[in-house]
């Protein structure tokens, strides 16, 4: 099944709802006996990557397996290297075999990429180059990054409760164009003989139009408000961006469109984040603003993402980095990866019931007071990556999601 964008699909609803479940009586040890025989089969490519990536992917895989066994789904996994791990094994950050495996699967789940070990590599040998080439190779141009402040974690936000409480926004980021991919790029010498580095911010009309339609459809199925973020007071590429966004807006008269310069948007996200519902922006601005939005929720370790194209498998990954400082110490928060697995089920495979089961399990685990270090506060129980995963597994088994 291709994880393509369906503009007439079900709404891009908030990933988590505070009260989506009722409790059941299933016992964890009974899963293999009571689960239905698999009636649906999917192939998932796992890309553990670097740093904490292997740890969080291992936990997410266990959660996927349990949810699948309950819902009558069978997964076939292909685990292949990418990023620094691939560099160490093959000498390149994205081996051809890895890209081929990803393309031939129904969905791709990525852990994290990068680390200090490879920081001094030439650009084409940096782990991050592998991620950019993976996105380009899969042709996933629309990156959906939800940022929802859960009631259980409102006090984990660095913002005041009255500012953070109730925040629920979606950043729709263009992913395969702009300054990260634009040409010309490189190094050279200017007319004064000085060394220079240069990049190009460039967008074609079709690139803006397609991400605009995704954003308008997303906004239409949320609260009907879309804010397009650019720098049209300075950059010609942003002026063109705004022109195309306004042209596509004529197709969506029911969606309230506003525009905001990126510097103001960065300020408004911390001043009054509840003013936003859906944000659409280019590659580099979306990269920065979605990371900023993540901290409103309390931790970057809580936020998943989905990257989708017009056809082929989608790419699902937590938005956090590889965190090499805590890699291998059982300190990582696996919830963003678990929730990315839920997005994989929902948007990539159309398995809504299994997705809701996982989302519900994450909420239940938080309700019980379990916290990794990044979201810990007084009165909660500090756990590591593995134990957090075990608690989510218990909740996956015991909770019955509401009907789809």
The catalytically annotated residue of 50, 106, 126, 180 is: 180
Of the chain, the end-to-end C-alpha distance in Å amounts to 20
Neighbouring CB atoms inside 10 A of 117's CB total 14
The catalytically annotated residue of 263, 272, 325, 381 is: 263
50 carries an active-site annotation: no
Retrieve residue 212's tokens: 């605009």
The catalytically annotated residue of 106, 168, 203, 231 is: 231
CA distance 127 to 123: 9
180 carries an active-site annotation: yes
The catalytically annotated residue of 106, 287, 364, 397 is: 287
The catalytically annotated residue of 155, 209, 291, 330 is: 291
| Residues with catalytic function | 180, 231, 263, 287, 291
């Amino acid at each position: 099944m291709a994880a393509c964008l369906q503009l007439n699909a079900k709404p891009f609803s908030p990933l988590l709802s505070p009260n989506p479940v009722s409790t059941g009586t299933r016992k964890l040890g009974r899963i293999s006996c009571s689960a239905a025989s698999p009636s649906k089969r999917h192939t998932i490519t796992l890309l553990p990557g670097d740093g904490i990536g292997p740890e969080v992917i291992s936990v997410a895989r266990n959660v996927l397996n349990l949810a699948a066994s309950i819902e009558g789904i069978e997964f076939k996994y292909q685990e292949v290297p990418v990023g620094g791990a691939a560099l160490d094994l093959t000498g390149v950050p994205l081996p051809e075999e890895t890209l081929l495996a990803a393309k031939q699967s129904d969905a791709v789940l990525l852990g994290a990429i990068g680390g200090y070990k490879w920081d001094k590599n030439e650009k084409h040998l940096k782990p991050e180059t592998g991620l950019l080439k993976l996105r380009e190779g899969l042709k996933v141009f629309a990156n959906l990054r939800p940022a929802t402040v859960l009631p259980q974690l409102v006090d984990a936000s660095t913002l005041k409760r009255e500012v953070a409480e109730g925040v629920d926004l979606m950043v729709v980021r263009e992913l395969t164009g702009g300054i990260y991919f634009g040409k010309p790029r490189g190094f050279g010498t200017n007319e004064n003989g000085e060394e220079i580095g240069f990049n190009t911010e460039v967008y074609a009309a079709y690139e803006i139009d397609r991400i605009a339609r995704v954003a308008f459809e997303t906004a239409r199925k949320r609260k009907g408000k879309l804010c397009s973020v650019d720098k049209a007071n300075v950059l010609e590429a942003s002026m063109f961006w705004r022109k195309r966004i306004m042209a596509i807006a004529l197709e969506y008269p029911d969606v309230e469109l506003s525009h905001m310069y990126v510097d103001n948007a960065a300020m408004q996200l911390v001043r009054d984040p509840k003013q936003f519902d859906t944000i659409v922006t280019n590659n580099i601005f979306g990269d920065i603003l979605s990371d900023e939005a993540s901290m409103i929720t309390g931790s970057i370790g809580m936020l998943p993402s989905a990257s989708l194209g017009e056809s082929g498998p989608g790419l699902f990954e937590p938005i956090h980095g590889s965190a090499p400082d805590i890699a291998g110490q059982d300190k990582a928060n696996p919830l963003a990866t678990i929730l990315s697995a839920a997005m994989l089920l929902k948007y990539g495979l159309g398995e809504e019931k299994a997705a809701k089961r996982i989302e519900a399990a994450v909420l239940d685990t938080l309700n019980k007071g379990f916290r990794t270090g990044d979201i810990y506060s007084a009165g909660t129980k500090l756990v590591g990556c593995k134990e957090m995963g075990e608690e989510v597994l218990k909740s996956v088994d015991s909770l019955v999601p509401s009907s789809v």
